[in-house]
Amino acid sequence: MQQLSVFRGGLRMRALGALAVLLSVAIVVAAPPAARAASSFPDVPPSHTFYTHISWLADQGITYGYADGSFGPDDSVTRGQLAAFLYKMAGSPDYTPPSTPTFPDVSRSNTFYKHVEWLVSTGIASGYSNGRFGVSDSVTRGQMAVFLYNLAGSPKFDVPWIPTFPDVSLANAFYLHVEWLATTGVSAGYANGDFGPSASVTRGQIAAFLYKYSRLDASAFEDSASGSDATVPTQREAAAAYCASTPQSTLSPRNSSDLLTAANKERAVLGLAPLTWSSTLASAASGWSATLASRDDATSALHDQLAHNPNAPGAENVAMSYFSAGQSRASAATIAHRGWVASYGHCMNMLSASYSRMGAGMAMTSDGTTWYSTVNFN
């Protein structure tokens, strides 16, 4: 059985945009205080998931729990509490806070005044755009990632161009910081694969994060990337690197609408927004596939009818697949999609952050041997 697959696609290349640079503030993290007698909390039995981490936190004197003797592992951590944890984690450095408060909601009489002022003076954290620190607000997991990354001295590292977590895309403000946590092993996210950047950090979770942070070797705090700072790749740069690696798709779309589903699954790998179906683009794609099939029927020469629509309403991918004994629509759709993913120009069309809509259409020659598939993007 003879098989032939041909792919063509067009891509207008543009110069890469400037990289987003995040300034680093180096800070020397002192060794934790000498171990104290382990504290026992009635709400943290030895069988508790965070027992080891919470016991360590108490042994180091980073926290002793609540006045009633409990720890509250499921309670949210406030930004003030985390400031105190990190101050003690750094060895309770000698520091005299300013006489005038930096934030209107953290007065000199506030329990966490010294800790918050120290945190800000070192560049580990800053307040909100409204000028407040939010001392009583719950810390989100994304904010926590920033605090720990900055506590480590904002080390340079090779930022991955494929997101580790589907809910923390390249465009997420916490992408760099979350990826550092993942790279160093401080956090592996939730069991479902997400990180939950907007979720509140519990006291049990922060105990685990700080415990793992304390056990990082020196390399985690050293620069490992070229340049002056770790940089987050742009979505275009990430797509270019991904497509240049000649990725091999395992998806098996069965028809034109499935091609949209498959394209969105490929985009999800890079955290790109899904494309929506456009009837206008689908009509144009279907019409062009039908034109190519009719041209093929009109000639006795094989496989010479593949071409781009000169009036394509946007970026376009076109594919042809041929089986001398005939083939199904599903087989042709799968061949087209996998070929586009493995071809740089077609892959870049599919993964462009500039496109939000897609339409697809397929047509078969009268003898059943050849399918033409077209997708349009804009």
Q: For 130-175, write each residue's pLDDT tens digit.
A: 999 999 999 999 999 999 999 998 988 888 888 899 899 888 999 9
DSSP states of 255-324: SHHHHHHHHHHHHHHTTPPPPEE-HHHHHHHHHHHHHHHHHHHT-SSSS------TT-SSEEEEEEEEET
Share of the chain above pLDDT 70, in %: 87
In SS3 terms, 191-221 reads as CCCCCCCCCECEHHHHHHHHHHHHCCCHHHH
**Residue 341 has what pLDDT?**
94
Q: How far apart are CA 244 and CA 344, in angstroms?
A: 6
**Residue 223 has what pLDDT?**
73
Q: How far apart are CA 283 and CA 99, in angstroms?
A: 69
Q: For 355-367, write each residue's pLDDT tens digit.
A: 999 999 999 999 8
**Residue 20 has what pLDDT?**
26
Answer positive or negative: Cα dihedral of 96, 100, 102, 107. positive
Q: Which residues of the chain, if any, have pLDDT below 50?
A: 1-38, 227
